[in-house]
Amino acid sequence: MKKIECIILDWAGTAVDYGCFAPVAAFIESFNEIGVPVTAAETRAYMGLTKIEEIRALFNIDRVKAAFCEKFGRDYTDEDVQARYVAFQRVLFDTLENYSEPIPGVVDTVEALRKAGIKIGSTTGYTGKMMDIVIPAAAKAGYKVDNCVTSDHLPAGRPYPYMVYRNMIDLAVPSVDCVLKYGDTIADIKEGVNAKVWTVGVVMGSNELALTQEEVAAMPADELDARKAEVRRRMLEAGAHYVVDDITELPAVIETINQKMNEYIKKTRI
């Protein structure tokens, strides 16, 4: 009998930091420092990539390229990218611990899955040094994983599948059929798809929805439903097998996947 043996969760916007605000604020501040502003929407469009790659992507936006050239009289270089990355890290490290609170439902659901024998892995666009802040801060609030992989010593981060495979090695999970990737960005979805694992997107608290808990509570129901539907559409178009409102729906999705895998096995044996 095949079944899901391991779930691999993203961090900001998926497990902690409702709405994924820590990196957004740091990207905006780092570009404001040189008088070439980027918007929250622009930063969110590339969320889930490694942070240095997101800075490259932001510099490569036509509007940003033009604004930089107008201000400095030249095109941006890799030195400019590296300088913004240094500034981004400075801002992020100053605030990161404050954005490590688990998203509602995460702690209890993950513990229930762990008790059911499922291993808990994780991937992230943060570096190892950033996670040295996030992991203990989240643990104090009750959220713990069995393994955390960053892209520091891998060929690349998302959307490439290497962090998923590293989790599989570290946690001794032998088949992609038995792995589920769970995340809140399009990059998360593509990471799971490229790894050929079951891929589930989450809407509430996500980077894609881009709302605080207070904004969610205050928003008219029809407007919130429309925004959620749009996020769901984007995630499904990116290749997600399932999209859930929140993590409390994940155990039922896992049960459905387990049933589908074993129904397929029975059919192919006939």
Cis omega (within 30 of 0) on the bond before 155?
A: no
Q: Does position 188 have pLDDT exceeding 70, yes or no?
A: yes
pLDDT band at 263 (very low <50, low <70, confident <90, very high): confident
Tell me whether residue 246 is one of the annotated catalytic residues. Answer: no
Confidence check: pLDDT of 266 > 90: no
Q: Minimal CA–CA distance to 20: which of 56, 52, 57, 45?
A: 45
Q: What does residue 215 show for φ and ψ, rounded to 5 degrees?
A: -65, -40
Mean pLDDT confidence for 91-106: 94
**For range 41-46, the mean pLDDT:** 95
Active site includes 51? yes
Of 17, 51, 119, 228, which one is the catalytic site residue? 51
Catalytic residue among 10, 17, 184, 188: 10
The mean pLDDT value for 143-159 works out to: 96
Per-residue pLDDT for 270 more than 60? Answer: no
pTM of the entire structure?
Answer: 0.91
Cβ atoms of 163 and 136 closer than 8 Å: no
Question: Residue 63: pLDDT band by 50, 70, 90 thresholds?
Answer: very high
Q: What is the mean pLDDT of the chain?
A: 96
